[in-house]
């Protein structure tokens, strides 16, 4: 989502003062842009419909830049109508692109794709590198999700060309990473190596997340060449920049390849909630194979059922064929209607009346306020939650603290004693943990240690994992 923001550069945009400044910084610092926009709205500094509509558009773009989609009935439709009425085609195209992305995200695939394809036709009439890059990157992602490799590569290459013309290193490496990932999924090692080498030459100049993706792709290449030591070094470097699901999956697979099945098992479990369908399905299949080998048939049955449900939702019910057919149909229609293009553009100027603008403007401010209130109440709840002294000062807890100081890993008997103590003195807490089907035994133990006020370094020692792994696991546990 980091490619979704575009900086305004016209005299009309810069005349808006603070609003123009927000447009300029939103691509590199969307969090700060959202804070400034919220302050601008609270102070009622916006004057006129033009500024209010531009405010809504830039807010939507910044939300997408941090990975937060909007509702499909967002005020962006009003922005489209307004910019269309005023003849501002650049802002109209930007609003249509982001509205189409929201429609697509919420399952209205055909509506969203149709709107994005309209933007693709509009961009032929004016030169806007930022808009063209975002459009091509999004279309590449859509076709990648639909399994249409030719169009995926076509759009990623177009986005790469735009980034090269603008000399934007971050965007160049981002697209090189996307191309490398596409060839990695299809096991085309030569093409993977080509784009990995291009990415490697530039990645030290990029943002942490983009650099981490490049390192993970190279680690995948090293693993395919059976250079496991180099792959592990690259994965370790990537985790310092940003923990990526693909990197975690590679590490799990390498551990399994080396016979470290418990480590692989725990990492696969972490990825059962990955937003990437291919990674999630791979981990389901790996865990099923592991439990089948170990004779845990109930877990095999449960995971198989969950995998089938997920596969049905993601692939069987997926509109991939319709997406490919729609693009083919629209391309053919465009060729047939070239001579009528002027008429089509004139007809597209028909717009809807602006309604509920004030409701739309206040929507996100109220939502953020409600979230902040909820977070404050949760913080207050947990700050005032005190553990019984008898539990914190028990023999097993003291023994575990001593073991951590001595650098010793806890044994099975220690964990059994800890579970028994918590079951006796805080059964509600343990019941909630055991009721979470997605928690692995290691994650349950980590939760107990956190609850008993063990430090991250103590947790790492007692569980036999790295401090970085503890940090990553705490983050995933918060999400669960």
Whole-angstrom distance, CA of residue 480 vs CA of residue 87:
47
**75 touches 56 (CB < 8 A):** yes
Higher pLDDT, 77 or 74: 77
Q: What is the DSSP string of 68-120?
A: -PPPTT-THHHHHHHHHHHT-HHHHHHHHHHHHHHHHHTT-HHHHHHHHHHHH
**7 touches 23 (CB < 8 A):** yes
Whole-angstrom distance, CA of residue 54 vs CA of residue 349:
19
Quickly state the pLDDT bin for 373 (edges 50, 70, 90). low
Higher pLDDT, 333 or 102: 102
Residue 189 CA, distance from chain mean position:
26
Q: Is the pTM of this model over 0.75?
A: no
Dihedral, CA of residue 177, residue 69, residue 366 and residue 50, to nearest 10 = 90
- 155 — phi, psi (to 5°)? -75, -40
Q: Which percentage of the chain shows pLDDT scores above 90? A: 37
Helix axes 320-336, 129-145, angle to 10 degrees: 130
The predicted pLDDT at position 96 comes to 92
Q: How many other CB atoms are there within 10 angstroms of residue 224's CB atom?
A: 14
Read off the tokens for 131.
């808009």
Read off the tokens for 472.
């990553």
- 201 — phi, psi (to 5°)? -65, -20
The sign one gets for the Cα dihedral 165, 169, 171, 173 is positive
First to last CA, the chain: 23
The predicted pLDDT at position 208 comes to 92
Q: How many other CB atoms are there within 10 angstroms of residue 435's CB atom?
A: 8
Helix axes 89-105, 129-145, angle to 10 degrees: 20
Q: How many other CB atoms are there within 10 angstroms of residue 52's CB atom?
A: 21
∠ at Cα 112 (279, 278), nearest 5°? 5
Q: What is the mean pLDDT of the chain?
A: 82
Whole-angstrom distance, CA of residue 217 vs CA of residue 204:
15
| 109-149 residue pLDDT tens | 888 888 999 898 888 877 888 889 989 999 999 888 888 88
The predicted pLDDT at position 49 comes to 79
Q: What is the DSSP letter of 123?
A: G
């Amino acid at each position: 989502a980091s490619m979704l923001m575009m900086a305004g550069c016209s005299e009309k945009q810069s005349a808006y003062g603070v609003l123009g400044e927000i447009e300029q910084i939103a691509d590199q610092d969307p969090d700060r842009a959202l804070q400034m926009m919220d302050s601008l709205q609270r102070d009622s500094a916006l004057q006129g419909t033009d500024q209010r509509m531009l405010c809504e558009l830039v807010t939507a773009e910044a939300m997408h830049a941090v990975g937060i989609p909007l509702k499909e009935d967002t005020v962006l439709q009003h922005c489209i109508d307004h910019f269309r009425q005023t003849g501002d085609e650049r802002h109209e195209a930007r609003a249509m692109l982001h509205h189409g992305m929201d429609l697509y995200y919420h399952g209205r695939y055909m509506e969203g794709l149709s709107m994005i394809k309209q933007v693709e036709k509009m961009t032929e009439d004016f030169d806007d590198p930022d808009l063209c890059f975002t459009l091509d990157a999004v279309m590449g992602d859509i076709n990648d999700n639909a399994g249409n490799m030719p169009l995926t590569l076509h759009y990623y290459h177009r986005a790469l060309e735009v980034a090269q013309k603008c000399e934007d290193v971050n965007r160049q490496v981002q697209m090189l990473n996307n191309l490398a990932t596409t060839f990695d999924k299809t096991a085309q090692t030569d093409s993977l190596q080509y784009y990995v080498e291009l990415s490697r030459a530039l990645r030290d100049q990029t943002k942490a997340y983009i650099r981490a993706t490049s390192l993970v792709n190279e680690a995948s290449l090293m693993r395919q060449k059976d250079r496991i030591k180099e792959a592990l070094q690259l994965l370790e470097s990537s985790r310092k920049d940003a923990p990526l699901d693909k990197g975690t999956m590679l590490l799990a697979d390498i551990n399994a390849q080396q016979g470290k099945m418990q480590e692989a098992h725990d990492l696969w479990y972490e990825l059962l909630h990955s937003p990437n369908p291919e990674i999630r399905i791979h981990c389901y299949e790996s865990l099923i194979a592991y439990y089948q080998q170990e004779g845990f048939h109930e877990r095999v049955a449960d995971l198989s059922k969950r995998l089938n449900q997920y596969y049905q939702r993601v692939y069987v019910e997926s509109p991939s064929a319709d997406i490919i057919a729609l693009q083919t149909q629209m391309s053919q229609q465009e060729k047939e209607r070239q001579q009528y293009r002027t008429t089509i553009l004139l007809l597209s100027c028909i717009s809807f009346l602006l309604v509920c603008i004030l409701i739309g403007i206040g929507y996100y401010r109220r939502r953020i306020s409600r979230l902040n209130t909820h977070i404050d109440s949760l913080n207050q709840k947990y700050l005032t939650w005190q553990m019984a002294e008898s539990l914190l000062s028990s023999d097993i807890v003291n023994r575990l603290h001593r073991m951590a100081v001595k650098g010793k890993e806890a044994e099975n008997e220690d964990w059994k004693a800890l579970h028994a103590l918590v079951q006796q003195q805080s059964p509600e807490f343990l019941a909630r943990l055991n009721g979470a089907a997605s928690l692995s035994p290691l994650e349950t133990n980590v939760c107990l240690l956190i609850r008993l006020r063990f430090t991250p370094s103590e947790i790492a020692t007692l569980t036999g994992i790295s401090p970085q792994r503890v940090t990553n696991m705490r983050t995933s546990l918060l999400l669960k």
